[in-house]
Amino acid sequence: MALVSETDTGLGPRIHRVLGALPSWVLWIIVVLWSLPTFSLFVNSFRNQEAQRTTGFWQTQLDELTIANYREVLEPTIAGGLWDAILNSFAIAIPATVIPIAIAAFAAYAFAWIDFKGRHWLFIATVSLMAIPLQTALIPLLQMYSGGAHWTIPFFEKTITLFPDFNLAGTVTAVWLTHSGFGLPFAIFLLHNYISGLPKDVFESAFIDGADHFTSFWRLVVPLSVPVLAAFAIFQFLWTWNDYLIAITMIGANPDALPATIKIAALAGEFGIREHLLAAGAFVQAFVPIVVFFALQRFFVRGILAGSVKG
Amino acid sequence: MEKVLSTLWGVVIAIVASGVLFIGANKWFDLARKNWSWFSMVTGALISGAVAGVLAGNRNSIWQFTYEEGSSGTTAWLYVLIAIAAGAALGAVLSGTEGMTMRLAVGGGGGLVLGAFHGFFLAESSYPALQIVPLLAWPVGGAVLGYGWGMLAGKHQMRRAVDLATLGWLVGAWLVPSIGGGTRVEAIVALGLLGLGLGTRIAVTGAADYFRREEIALKSRATIFLAPAILFISVSLIIPTIRTLYLSLLDGRSVEFVGFENFVTIFTDPGIFKIDEWAFMFTEQLFIIGALLAAVGTVLAWRAAKARGNPPNPISMVLASAGAVALVIGYALNYFADPEVVEAAAGADGSAFDMLATTVVLIGFLLTVAGIVTSFITARSGGHHLDWSPSNAGALGVGVFFLFFGAFAALRGTIFNNLWWVVGVVGLATSLGLMIAVLADRSRSETIAKSLIFMPMAISFVGAGIIWRFMYIARPIQKDQTGIINTPWVWLGKISTEGGTGRVIFTIVLVVFAAALAYLAYRGLAANENGLATGSFLAMAPPVWLAWRLWEGSGIGGIVETENGFFADPIFFLQTSPFNNFWLMMVLIWIQTGFAMVIMSAAIKAVPAELIEASKVDGATEGQTFWAVTIPQIMSTIGVVVTTLIVLVMKVFDIVKVMTNGNFDTQVLANEMWQKAFTESNFGVGSAVAVVLFVSVLPVMYVNIRRMQGENA
């Protein structure tokens, strides 16, 4: 469409010229459409109950605006304490982010730079686990956390305990343990992609200088991999912060340990008098991930790309 | 605050502990190279300490340390400490002993004493009631077997014999007899001789030479680096998955084996798998339009190949054209099968028309399929190919997409809902993402636009569900609408029924817009740019439809006529089946389009500039360059996006749970599994649904593995 020359004056070329500017316009229309849902919820979260119920957000009057919704949502006695739930979300998301990073970094290093038999296949097997849906592991995991894991040896009928009953069901520990396990295959995949791409000479000269794998991991790989570690950290943090399935399965009905997602989902399930708090609640829950997202978007994008685009 | 602090402390302690463990393990195996007797000492201490730790720390298992009533646990700690010290001493002494006889004496004797020590402290409930026959038969059998194995292998007869004899003793003394009926002497004997076996085994190996030490130090590295990950993945992913496979064969309370009964339950439940109304798909508008597009796409592909100077076999073109004609007739018949229309026209009830329409559409569909299939068969038998390049396949692709939508509106139940999600979300998120990536590539304010479209990725599925619930609000017909979609919808309905200038202006705007698109489609067809032609033609559909309904004046929907006049008729997005499924998908599309866009955008930028230049120098238009150069170049990236999205969509849960909880025919597998397992407490059926989910991602897993092999090779 940009091939139209200046001298063309017919109807067709003119349409072509208008269309040449179209991409920008279409893009911005899409951007507006894409932001509209979030924006409308944001405006609604500041409107009082009556206004939310009877008029659309574009009909907002100045005197309808209030921050009472936010105050009410955070107040422990009224909405079941979203503030407590936010703390629970942190208590889940932080360990569930830190632990897989450490474990996956070791494994990724081994897959990338330590020679051992069956390395290729073990790596492929590990990484292909990324596609397993969490649902397949949920029931046994919940059983394990609520009663331990026991195995009866066939033919001899002796039961031995493989995983003691730590009474983890209903606690945040069960949730972040589960997240740590499920996050590992992707973490290993992402970190391996990066770590295996580090220049070989660096390692060779380090080994010649007498460094062993432990030293080269600690002194070379960890400092050099900070960008990809950050990328995975953001990924996993957003994922665990926003998770609903694992939390509701592992915690269930223990009100003291519920994270924010479950609290606002419960609020949404009421369909009742507190519906005006829904918008504010959703924004309180989304505040942390949105801040993380905009502050660290560069790393986040890099993380997404690391696994998918080659060259 | 207290909760967060305690959690943070827990995390810090966990990290420090695992750090110490990791570094410690590294240092330990360093010792193997640097100082063998230290290494032996630490190893001995670890083995003996581990046994003591398990016995002392485990109160649930049948094997445990003896706990005195009311004891504070000091004895237990003392026991563990002494065990560690004794193990360390034995390791140190053994490493310094030369000569096989001495080694055997030290190793075997030390092991015996150490084992007896552990046996002495065993809890009374753990004493084995030894039986003489198995106690002798198992180790002797093991020794004979091990010796034979060694003979066959040609080396290490003694080692194998000791190995299997020890294992035999473990079985004969601990697995066969009943635990809890014996005496302390029996416990000491049973554990002491186990220690003897282990000690002898270590002594038989002989002192490690330099190479052996190096080997230990080297091999241990991979193990140390990998062990935590493998352990974690096994415990939280692999073993549970295998157990789910097993549970799916048991009944609801996981007691009795029921074979495949749970799967039978799933596939005979009409809520999950309902196909008896399949014939309705042939009267579904989307299905007919989809088939028509596929037929037209085939004709276009034939025409494009012909224009290139390779006239292909006309048979597929003829078949597809005939199919298209039949489909148009079927569409018309279907329109007349509408009861209102029929009553006005013929006074019949329309069932005859219905039957006829179904048959004609079916014929048209089969003709089209035959056309597409023959296009590949004739190509195989040496004829010229139809030109199925991306630009020409576009119409076929969109057609198939619509076909699926029509089919899933007739095939109902959880499983088809899930498939519908896969087709709908993957298709739309990928193509929208690609479109936005292309648009953004030509725009100056690319970064801001992209980051705004990408932003929903940061919002939870639950939050997104709430956001879209506000979008989809539908209020009773007498009241004003407050939803962002229903308000303009009702407004358009009003314009249409009330008439006046608003209607005229709006119709003219739409007609002009449609005309511009029609011109573009014409240009595309003339220049053999089928991608442009198809795209413009498809984009024409909404404005033409809207203009027609507006002008017709009977309302475009959005308004309902009652005895008391016209009222608003909002769309109940979440309640009206089956297309409420699509409105739920919209939420995920809204989230995932940003993901697709980011990846495609990077891939488009990674297409070598020389290729684009070369194509332009050859006189290709921008559209041709896009379809013939860019798209094939980013095809593998599209593949990655598609597989990633398929896996993600298969397990969609939160959105459905929050927005409809599977009501109004919107159930999906993940929510079905959750409800069956945790609401109805039926672990059998719940596991079976999980297995269905698992099996359905296996093909994707296979594709991923193939791709990784390709990359690593």
Q: Are residues B58 and B152 in the same domain?
A: no
Beta-carbon contacts of residue B494 (< 8 Å; ≥ 6 apart): B558, B559, B566
Which range in B31-40, B256-265, B347-356 is most confidently predicted, on average pLDDT?
Answer: B256-265
Q: What is the DSSP letter of B500?
A: S
Closest-CA distance, A6 to chain B, in angstroms, reads 17
Q: Is the pLDDT of residue A168 over 70?
A: yes
pLDDT tens-digit readout, B399-426: 999 999 999 989 989 999 999 999 999 9
**Both structure tokens of B1:** 């605050």
Count the neighbouring beta carbons within 10 Å of the beta carbon of residue B380: 8
End residue of a domain, out of B390, B422, B447: B390
pLDDT tens-digit readout, B597-609: 999 998 998 899 9
pLDDT band at A129 (very low <50, low <70, confident <90, very high): very high
pLDDT given at position A30: 93
End residue of a domain, out of B245, B260, B289: B245
Say if B18 is an interface residue toward chain A (CB within 8 Å).
yes
Q: Is the pLDDT of residue B212 over 70?
A: yes
Q: Is the pLDDT of residue B9 over 50?
A: yes
> Measured between CB atoms, which of B7, B219, B439 is closest to A23?
B439
Distances (CA, A) of A160 to A147, B122, B236: 13, 16, 19
Q: Cβ distance A308 to B707 under 8 Å?
A: no
Q: Are residues B167 and B200 in the same domain?
A: no
Q: Is the pLDDT of residue A5 over 50?
A: no
* A179, closest residue in chain B (CA to CA): B236
Q: Are residues B156 and B202 in the same domain?
A: no
Beta-carbon contacts of residue B593 (< 8 Å; ≥ 6 apart): A34, B428, B429, B432, B433, B436, B453
Q: Per the domain annotation, does B147 fall within a domain?
A: yes
**DSSP structure string for B633-669:** HTHHHHHHHHHHHHHHHHT--HHHHHHTTTTTTT--H
Q: B713: exposed, middle or buried (C-beta count within 10 Å: 0-12, 13-18, 19+)?
A: exposed
Say if B471 is an interface residue toward chain A (CB within 8 Å).
yes
Contacts of A122 in chain B (CB under 8 A): 226
Q: Are residues B26 and B64 in the same domain?
A: yes
Which range in B14-18, B204-208, B279-283, B317-321 is most confidently predicted, on average pLDDT?
Answer: B317-321
Share of chain B above pLDDT 90, in %: 38
Degrees to nearest 5, angle at CA B68 with B64 and B72: 100
Output B326 or A252, whichever has higher pLDDT: B326
Q: Please tell me the least confidently modeled range out of A123-137, B37-51, B335-349.
A: B335-349
pLDDT given at position B324: 92
Contacts of B15 in chain A (CB under 8 A): 98-99, 102
pLDDT tens-digit readout, A79-114: 467 888 898 899 899 889 988 998 999 999 999 988
Q: Are residues B92 and B142 in the same domain?
A: no
Buried b (16+ CB within 10 A) or exposed e, A117-155: eeeeebbbebbbbbbbbbbbbbbbbbbbbbebbbeeeee
Give the mean model confidence (pLDDT) for residues B438-447: 82
Q: Are residues B108 and B227 in the same domain?
A: yes
Q: Is the pLDDT of residue B625 over 80?
A: yes
pLDDT given at position B35: 82
Say if B562 is an interface residue toward chain A (CB within 8 Å).
no
Give the mean model confidence (pLDDT) for residues B75-81: 84
Share of chain B above pLDDT 70, in %: 93
Q: Are B701 and A131 inside 8 Å of each other by CB?
A: yes
Q: In whole angstroms, give the CA distance from residue A159 to residue A139.
A: 21
Total domains, chain B? 3
pLDDT given at position B246: 94
Q: Per the domain annotation, does B43 fall within a domain?
A: yes
Q: Is the pLDDT of residue B300 over 70?
A: yes
Q: Are A137 and B241 inside 8 Å of each other by CB?
A: yes
Q: Are residues B326 and B356 in the same domain?
A: yes
pLDDT given at position B526: 86
Q: Is the pLDDT of residue B559 over 70?
A: yes
Q: Please tell me the least confidently modeled range out of B373-387, B512-526, B637-651.
A: B373-387
pLDDT given at position B356: 84
pLDDT tens-digit readout, B483-513: 888 888 888 888 877 777 888 888 899 999 9
Say if B707 is an interface residue toward chain A (CB within 8 Å).
no
Which range in B300-309, B340-349, B491-500, B657-666 is most confidently predicted, on average pLDDT?
Answer: B657-666
Say if B229 is an interface residue toward chain A (CB within 8 Å).
yes
- Mutation pick from A139, A234, A277 vs chain B, by most beta carbons of B within 10 Å, is A139
pLDDT given at position A311: 33
Which range in A5-9, A198-202, B346-350, B594-598 is most confidently predicted, on average pLDDT?
Answer: B594-598
Q: Are B658 and A37 inside 8 Å of each other by CB?
A: no
Q: Per the domain annotation, does B480 fall within a domain?
A: no
Average pLDDT, chain B: 86
**Both structure tokens of B610:** 């020389």
Q: In whole angstroms, give the CA distance from residue B375 to residue B387.
A: 10
pLDDT given at position A4: 41
**DSSP structure string for B577-636:** TTTHHHHHHHHHHHHHHHHHHHHHHHHHHHS-HHHHHHHHHTT--HHHHIIIIIHHHTHH
Q: In whole angstroms, give the CA distance from residue A307 to residue A299.
A: 13
Count the neighbouring beta carbons within 10 Å of the beta carbon of residue B529: 24
Give the A:B interface size as CB pairs under 8 Å: 349
Q: Are residues B123 and B240 in the same domain?
A: yes
Give the mean model confidence (pLDDT) for residues A146-155: 83
Q: In whole angstroms, give the CA distance from residue A117 to residue A193.
A: 20
Q: Are residues B199 and B307 in the same domain?
A: no
> Measured between CB atoms, which of B243, B670, B711 is closest to A140?
B243
Q: Per the domain annotation, does B322 fall within a domain?
A: yes
Say if B663 is an interface residue toward chain A (CB within 8 Å).
no
Beta-carbon contacts of residue B81 (< 8 Å; ≥ 6 apart): none
pLDDT given at position B600: 92
Region A72-306: CATH code: 1.10.3720.10
Q: Cβ distance B385 to B311 under 8 Å?
A: no
Structural domain including B145 reads: 131-176
pLDDT given at position B713: 52
Q: Cβ distance B490 to B567 under 8 Å?
A: no
What are the domain boundaries of chain A? 72-306
Q: B50: exposed, middle or buried (C-beta count within 10 Å: 0-12, 13-18, 19+)?
A: middle
Q: Cβ distance B245 to B262 under 8 Å?
A: no
**DSSP structure string for B677-702:** IIIS--HHHHHHHHHHHHHHHHHHHH
Output B603 or A22, whichever has higher pLDDT: B603
Q: Are residues B7 and B100 in the same domain?
A: yes
Say if B241 is an interface residue toward chain A (CB within 8 Å).
yes
pLDDT band at B712 (very low <50, low <70, confident <90, very high): low
pLDDT given at position A2: 42
Q: Is the pLDDT of residue B664 over 60?
A: yes
pLDDT band at A310 (very low <50, low <70, confident <90, very high): very low
pLDDT given at position A272: 64
* A247, closest residue in chain B (CA to CA): B654
End residue of a domain, out of B154, B176, B198: B176
Strands (DSSP E) contained in B469-576 are 558-562, 565-569
Q: Are residues B335 and B287 in the same domain?
A: yes
pLDDT given at position B545: 87
Q: Per the domain annotation, does B253 fall within a domain?
A: no
Closest-CA distance, A34 to chain B, in angstroms, reads 6
Cis? peptide before B578, omega within 30° of 0:
yes
Q: Is the pLDDT of residue B587 over 90?
A: yes
Q: Per the domain annotation, does B495 fall within a domain?
A: no
Count the neighbouring beta carbons within 10 Å of the beta carbon of residue A297: 19
Q: Is the pLDDT of residue A3 over 50?
A: no
**Both structure tokens of A308:** 């998918």
Contacts of B687 in chain A (CB under 8 A): 139
Q: Is the pLDDT of residue A6 over 50?
A: no
pLDDT given at position B394: 85
Q: What is the pTM of this model?
A: 0.89
